[in-house]
Each structure stands twice: as structure tokens, then as C-alpha cells.
Amino acid sequence: MSKVSYYTEEGLKKLRNELNQLKDIERPKASQAIAEARDKGDLSENAEYDAAKEAQGMLELQISKMEEVLSNSRIIDESQLDTSKVLVLSIVKVKIKKTGQLMKYTLVAQTEADLKSGKISVESPIGRGLLGKGVGDIAVISVPSGKIELEIISIDR
């Protein structure tokens, strides 16, 4: 059974554009590379042909995975989201209990994650730890360096 993924309209459009790029541009390039390698002679000793076939196989696998993700994708209607608890697309302001440092994250689908812009995946350790929590709750999260405690200060959309 496939897992449903939730996206913003912008994130889903980006994913569709990436898939179209792979299908419309990269797939013909891979076919051309195979044809050129095939024209160079004996296929049993043609490393260029083998490499081109392998690259094509990897490309087709990537296309297949993206098509599966898209077929199980849903767009989130932000106006219908509950702001009493952390959900996908929540903008969460947290305080690290140990240091008092304030941080702000937007929880997004894994393919939309971009730490530089404050977007973290709901599948990341911090994302999973924050999901379902409310304002004032403490999330204890296991990270590679140990455990951190994050107090939820606010939840917005």
C-alpha cells in the first residue's frame, strides 16, 4: 500500500515540472546515448553501451517513483487546517529548553523541505516530534547528538 503525501499547490507543481523534465528531456537524451553507443559496434564489449543502458534504467526508476508519489499526492487546503496542534504546513515557533534559543519551522512534505528557508520535513526527527503537539507542549526529540526538548510557543498557518 502506498503512502499518501500532502503538498502545497506550489510543491506539487514543482514535482510535476521535475517529472515532465525527466520524461520530455532526459528520457530522449538517454535513448540517444544508447543509439550512439550501439552504432559503435560489438555490444558484448561496449562499455559505453552498458553504461548508457544502466543510466536509462536508473532514469526510468526515478520516473516511476515520481509518478507513484504524484498518484498518491493530495493538495492541502490551508484554510481548513486546525491551528490548535502542529500539522503539515504549520508554522511552528519553538524554544529550545536548554538554551532558550527561539526557532521557527514550517512543516512540509519531504520533497519540499529546505532548511535554509526554515522548511523541515514532517518525516524528519524534529518534524515527527512536533506533529500533533499544541502550544505549551514540550516535544522531546532524539537527534544524532542526543535528546533535545522543544517548547511550542506558537502555531500559525
- CATH number of the domain where residue 144 is located: 3.10.50.30
1 pLDDT higher than 50 = no
114-124 average pLDDT score: 89
54 shares its domain with 112: no
Q: Which domain holds residue 142?
A: 78-156
For residue 30, give the CATH number of its domain: 1.10.287.180
28-49 average pLDDT score: 83
82 shares its domain with 147: yes
Which of 75, 101, 123 terminates a domain? The answer is: 75
137 shares its domain with 120: yes
22 shares its domain with 36: yes
82 shares its domain with 66: no
- All 3 cell numbers of residue 49? 553501451
111 shares its domain with 128: yes
Phi and psi, residue 43, nearest 5°:
-75, -25
17 shares its domain with 70: yes
54 shares its domain with 90: no
Distances (CA, A) of 57 to 34, 37, 40, 54, 64: 11, 15, 20, 5, 10
| Rounded percentage of the chain residues whose pLDDT exceeds 90 | 44
How far is the C-alpha of 112 from the C-alpha of 70, rounded, in Å? 13
122-145 average pLDDT score: 90
Mean residue pLDDT of the chain comes to: 86
35 vs 44, higher pLDDT? 35
Distances (CA, A) of 13 to 5, 26, 27: 14, 19, 20
Q: Domain total for the chain?
A: 2
Which of 75, 97, 114 terminates a domain? The answer is: 75
17-21 average pLDDT score: 94
- All 3 cell numbers of residue 142? 532524539
115 shares its domain with 63: no
Report residue 38's pLDDT band, with 50, 70 and 90 as the boundaries.
confident
State residue 82's pLDDT score: 64
Segment among 23-27, 32-36, 59-63, 108-112 with least mean pLDDT? 108-112
Instruction: Report the SS3 class of residue 67.
Output: helix
51 shares its domain with 103: no
43 pLDDT higher than 80 = no
pLDDT, tens only, 54-99: 999 999 999 999 998 888 887 876 666 667 788 888 899 999 999 9
Which of 39, 59, 75 terminates a domain? The answer is: 75
CB 104 within 8 A of CB 90: no
